[in-house]
């Protein structure tokens, strides 16, 4: 049934009188921080409460619907009641220095442990030099040295006495010991030795050999004495060192004895200090910069590298990583240049977001993760293995075959929340076999919510809360009502409100700016409307260009009169965030033939698949409507005139059918009415998208030429609920200067466009004489006869 819509049916207005407040300053803030997302709220709460590591969460929705802000708010709320996880730190591995040890302590104790160890090293640097500089130590050490010297002297005296018995004296040289024969109590000269008989020389040589054996025995005994002395000195040093550090280590050990790994590390550190106590003692060469550097480098082994510090964390950590590169997620081992060489140690290990969020929640944007090399695979590996190994990307990929640190892996237990679009979720489900197993909870954020009293009231509170937080001027009741209408405009639905809050708050910001410019203290409906209008103005340059072409006569669109085989169709052009309606002249020509309906856009490869499907449906409609008892002998062409880009969508299929019926019946169509709507094979009109933009586009063209009071747009009946027309269009409809017709089928549209009856078939399938359908069938029968006669002539000629 044809229905001409009234002004109240083309825009669902919001009356300021429904609000009980005068200004948004009076409103209480939102409790949950989200509006109209009950499904998302329920799914998020369920996902966050599941403890299993496979139940990570994917937040699905388009940007601007509050996905991120609500996720952070809800996660922090749950995290506050969750136990705070341990601190983690790396320490030196005294047995295998290239394998740093990872230790953990309860939250806040990591920082304390680091300071305790730092203080311990400082105390050791004081107490050890004092202990080894004491009088008692020097006396005990002197006694050991004195005993060694005395024992060595006795042995040398024995050697000298034995040498004298054999007639020799023993002298030390730089190369060893030399035996020199004696004659009459003095050393024999070389000449005297050479004059000796052969037997005498052999006798001296034999005695010298015996003396060498005696000398070696004495030297071995002296070496044994020295070893004993060194052992005693080392034992003394150990006793002194142990006495000096025992109390210090006992104090810190007592404090951490209940933490097994920390206590084990302290025991290893104690043994290392005993083995390297001399590094704590002052040296004369310490003034040398190189020696000082080496000593400071040695002392680094006793540092504590705290990479996760939860001392200031209340509950479980909530980490939002805005730049999820491989290194920002995993951490890295840094290098520095020392003496012209790149080097590293365990103090250069840096933790990433995964470690910071360990025991809590990590929130990531999936688009950012997928853009960064290695990040997605690393996340999956950590979730599957339950451990994180900090290594640089080159080592991870096997591209850097150099020796480096291999820090001990750290156990990971956290919940990852990914924020992304429905498309990415679909693609990951299709092409990533691990995704479904690791992210089992999907949370859908809708772009719309019901326009009911509860949501309108919550939207009002959201507006008030946002204005207070961002120091914006408050809105009065009319301003809030206008924002509610704008939310319905964004949703393109009279009974819905948009949840794209980014768009809403941008209008609040701009309205506040206009209020400041005009010196207003409160944002009214007029200021909100101005902000919306100015926002459109900044984006509608191309729309205005089309209107200029139309005004100058370069774009051939008629807005009055009648034409046969010609009609005004409507399309929507999307340019970034801004979309607008553009009227298009659609023409149809017909002649006898068997090619069927030719879509010129398709022939020139300017037609999308959906549009081509719509044109093929027209052929089915024509055949089922008019060719039940005759063969369809038709060649027709359809064209979007002055269109130089691809045509996609089926919203013009009913419009093309009207043009085709007009061309076949010879019935002119009104040019002051534009048409939009999809059609099925039965002639039923189906809903389309962008109805508000399409109506506004034709209205603006008509306004340029002058509104006659007869112009309007035909739309599908199902799209009435989507109407949220501009205020100036609503006023034109109310004053009878513009019209909107809602229809259910093609016949209703024919009657509006032609002013004639379409015609309903009788039980024999015949249409009433003089009706539009009658004339179409009559024309097709004529085409069939022409082709039959032409075929006979061809056969006779052959």
Q: What is the 3-state secondary structure (H, E, C) of 11-60?
A: CCCCCHHHCCCCEHHHCCCCCCCCCCCHHHHHHHHHHHHCCCCCECEEEE
With vertex at residue 418, the alpha carbon angle to CA 417 and CA 423, rounded to the nearest 5 degrees, is 150
pLDDT the model gives residue 296: 59
Average pLDDT, the chain: 85
Mean per-residue pLDDT for 771-776? 89
Mean per-residue pLDDT for 504-532? 93
pLDDT the model gives residue 96: 92
Give catalytic status of residue 651 as yes or no.
yes
Mean per-residue pLDDT for 696-724? 93
Count of beta carbons in the 10 Å neighbourhood of residue 755:
12
- Count of CA atoms in the C-beta half-sphere (13 A) of 200: 10
With vertex at residue 169, the alpha carbon angle to CA 167 and CA 175, rounded to the nearest 5 degrees, is 135
State both tokens at 121: 């090293």
- Please determine, for residue 534, whether its predicted confidence score (pLDDT) is greater than 70: yes
For tokens 């719309």, the residue is 448
DSSP 424-453: HHHHHHHH-TTHHHHB-EEEEPPSEEE-SH
Give catalytic status of residue 403 as yes or no.
no
Mean per-residue pLDDT for 464-490? 92
Is residue 139 exposed (0-12), middle (13-18) or buried (19+ Cβ within 10 Å)?
exposed
Highest mean pLDDT pick, 113-117, 205-209, 637-641: 113-117
Better-predicted residue by pLDDT, 499 or 325: 325
Are 741 and 661 contacting, i.e. CB atoms less than 8 angstroms apart? no
- Please determine, for residue 714, whether its predicted confidence score (pLDDT) is greater than 50: yes
- Please determine, for residue 304, whether its predicted confidence score (pLDDT) is greater than 70: yes
Mean per-residue pLDDT for 259-284? 85
- Please determine, for residue 278, whether its predicted confidence score (pLDDT) is greater than 70: yes
Distance from C-alpha of 400 to C-alpha of 327, rounded to nearest angstrom: 16
Are 662 and 565 contacting, i.e. CB atoms less than 8 angstroms apart? yes
**Least-confidence region, from 341-345, 392-396, 577-581:** 392-396
With vertex at residue 83, the alpha carbon angle to CA 77 and CA 85, rounded to the nearest 5 degrees, is 115
pLDDT range class, residue 37, cuts 50, 70, 90:
low
Distance from C-alpha of 118 to C-alpha of 421, rounded to nearest angstrom: 49
Highest mean pLDDT pick, 197-211, 387-401, 678-692: 678-692
pLDDT the model gives residue 34: 61
Count of beta carbons in the 10 Å neighbourhood of residue 88:
24
- Please determine, for residue 122, whether its predicted confidence score (pLDDT) is greater than 70: yes
Is residue 282 exposed (0-12), middle (13-18) or buried (19+ Cβ within 10 Å)?
exposed
pLDDT the model gives residue 31: 63
pLDDT range class, residue 479, cuts 50, 70, 90:
very high
Distance from C-alpha of 329 to C-alpha of 324, rounded to nearest angstrom: 6
Mean per-residue pLDDT for 74-80? 87
Are 678 and 639 contacting, i.e. CB atoms less than 8 angstroms apart? no
φ, ψ of residue 247 to 5 degrees: the values are -65, -40
User: What percentage of the chain exceeds 70 in pLDDT?
Assistant: 90
pLDDT the model gives residue 606: 61
Burial profile 599-625: b = 16 or more Cβ within 10 angstroms, e = fewer: bbbbeeebbeeebbebbebbbebbbeb
Per the residue annotation, which of 651, 654, 662, 771 is the catalytic one?
651
- Please determine, for residue 294, whether its predicted confidence score (pLDDT) is greater than 70: no
- Please determine, for residue 584, whether its predicted confidence score (pLDDT) is greater than 50: yes
pLDDT the model gives residue 290: 47
Pairing label, strands 739-743, 3-4: antiparallel
- Please determine, for residue 735, whether its predicted confidence score (pLDDT) is greater than 70: yes
Per the residue annotation, which of 694, 737, 771, 777 is the catalytic one?
694
CA gyration radius, the chain: 48
State both tokens at 562: 């009648």
pLDDT the model gives residue 600: 59
DSSP 207-271: HHHHHHHHHHHHHHHHHHHHHHHHHHHHHHHHHHHHHHHHHHHHHHHHHHTTSHHHHHHHHHHHH
Mean per-residue pLDDT for 302-307? 94
Mean per-residue pLDDT for 24-53? 66
pLDDT range class, residue 339, cuts 50, 70, 90:
low
pLDDT range class, residue 593, cuts 50, 70, 90:
confident
State both tokens at 49: 């409460």
* 3-state SS class at 189: coil
Are 649 and 611 contacting, i.e. CB atoms less than 8 angstroms apart? yes
* 3-state SS class at 483: helix
Are 536 and 581 contacting, i.e. CB atoms less than 8 angstroms apart? no
Over residues 608-642, the pLDDT tens digits come to 677 777 677 888 888 888 877 777 777 788 888 88
Mean per-residue pLDDT for 165-178? 77
What is the DSSP-derived secondary structure letter of residue 725?
Answer: -
Classify the phi-psi angles of 294: left when phi > 0, otherwise alpha if psi is within -120 to 50, otherwise beta. Answer: alpha
User: What percentage of the chain exceeds 90 in pLDDT?
Assistant: 41
């Amino acid at each position: 049934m044809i229905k001409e819509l009234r002004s109240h049916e083309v825009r669902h207005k919001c009356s300021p009188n429904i609000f009980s407040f005068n200004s948004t300053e009076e409103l209480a803030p939102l409790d949950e921080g989200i509006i109209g997302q009950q499904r998302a709220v329920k799914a998020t709460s369920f996902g966050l409460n599941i403890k299993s590591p496979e139940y990570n969460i994917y937040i699905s929705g388009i940007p601007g619907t509050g996905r991120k802000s609500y996720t952070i708010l809800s996660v922090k709320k749950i995290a506050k009641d969750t136990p705070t996880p341990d601190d983690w730190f790396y320490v030196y591995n005294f047995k295998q220095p290239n394998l740093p040890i990872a230790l953990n302590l309860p939250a806040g104790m990591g920082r304390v442990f680091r300071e305790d160890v730092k203080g311990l090293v400082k105390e050791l640097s004081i107490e050890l030099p004092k202990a080894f500089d004491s009088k008692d130590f020097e006396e005990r050490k002197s006694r050991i040295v004195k005993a060694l010297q005395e024992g060595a002297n006795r042995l040398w005296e024995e050697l000298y006495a034995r040498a004298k018995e054999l007639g020799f004296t023993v002298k030390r040289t730089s190369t060893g010991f030399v035996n020199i024969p004696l004659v009459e109590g003095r050393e024999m000269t070389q000449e005297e030795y050479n004059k000796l008989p052969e037997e005498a020389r052999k006798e001296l040589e034999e005695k010298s050999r015996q003396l060498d054996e005696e000398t070696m025995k004495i030297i071995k005994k002296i070496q044994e004495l020295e070893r004993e002395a060194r052992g005693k000195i080392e034992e003394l040093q150990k006793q002194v060192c142990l006495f000096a550090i025992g109390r210090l280590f006992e104090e810190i050990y007592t404090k951490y004895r209940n933490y097994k790994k920390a206590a084990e590390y302290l025991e290893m550190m104690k043994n290392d200090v005993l083995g390297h106590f001399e590094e704590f003692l002052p040296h004369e060469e310490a003034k040398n910069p190189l020696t000082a550097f080496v000593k400071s480098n040695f002392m680094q082994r006793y540092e504590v590298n705290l990479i996760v510090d939860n001392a200031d964390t209340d509950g479980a950590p909530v980490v939002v990583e805005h730049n999820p590169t491989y290194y920002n997620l995993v951490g890295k081992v840094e290098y520095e240049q020392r003496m012209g060489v790149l080097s590293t140690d365990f103090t250069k290990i840096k933790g990433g977001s995964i470690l910071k969020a360990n025991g809590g929640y990590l929130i990531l944007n999936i688009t950012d993760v997928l853009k960064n090399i290695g990040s997605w695979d690393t996340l999956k590996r950590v979730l599957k293995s339950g451990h994180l190994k900090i290594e640089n990307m080159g080592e991870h990929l096997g591209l850097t075959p150099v020796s480096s640190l291999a820090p001990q892996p750290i156990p990971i237990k956290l919940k990852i929340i990914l924020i992304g679009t429905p498309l990415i979720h679909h693609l990951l489900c299709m092409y990533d076999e691990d995704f479904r197993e690791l992210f089992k909870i999907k949370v859908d954020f809708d772009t719309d919510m019901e326009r009911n009293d509860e949501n309108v009231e919550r939207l009002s509170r959201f507006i008030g809360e946002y204005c207070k937080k961002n120091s914006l001027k408050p809105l009065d009741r009319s301003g809030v009502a206008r924002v509610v209408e704008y939310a319905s405009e964004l949703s393109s639905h009279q009974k819905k409100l948009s949840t794209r809050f980014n768009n809403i708050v941008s209008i609040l910001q701009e309205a506040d700016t206009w209020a400041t410019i005009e010196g207003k203290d409160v944002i009214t409906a007029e200021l909100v409307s101005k902000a919306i209008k100015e926002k459109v103005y900044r984006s509608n340059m191309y729309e205005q260009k089309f209107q200029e072409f139309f005004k100058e006569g370069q774009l051939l669109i008629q807005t009055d009169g009648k034409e046969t085989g010609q009609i005004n169709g409507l399309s929507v052009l999307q340019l970034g965030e801004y979309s607008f309606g553009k009227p298009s002249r659609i023409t149809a020509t017909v002649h006898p033939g068997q090619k069927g309906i030719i879509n010129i856009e398709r022939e020139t490869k300017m037609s999308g698949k959906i549009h081509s499907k719509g044109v093929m449906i027209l052929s089915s409609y024509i055949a089922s409507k008019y060719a039940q008892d005759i063969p369809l002998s038709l060649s027709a062409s359809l064209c979007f005139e002055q269109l130089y880009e691809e045509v996609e969508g089926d919203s013009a299929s009913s419009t093309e059918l009207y043009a085709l019926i007009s061309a076949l019946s010879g019935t002119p169509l009104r040019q002051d009415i534009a048409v939009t709507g999809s059609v099925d094979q039965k002639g039923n009109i189906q809903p389309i998208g962008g109805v508000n933009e399409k109506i506004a586009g034709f209205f603006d063209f008509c306004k340029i030429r002058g509104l006659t009071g007869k112009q309007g747009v035909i739309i599908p009946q199902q799209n009435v609920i989507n109407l949220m027309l501009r205020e100036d269009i609503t006023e034109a409809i109310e004053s009878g200067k513009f019209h909107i017709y809602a229809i259910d089928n093609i016949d209703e549209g024919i009657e509006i466009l032609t002013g004639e009856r379409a015609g309903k078939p009788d039980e024999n399938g015949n249409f009433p004489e003089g009706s539009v359908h009658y004339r179409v069938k009559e024309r097709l029968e004529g085409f069939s006869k022409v082709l039959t006669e032409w075929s006979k002539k061809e056969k006779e000629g052959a």
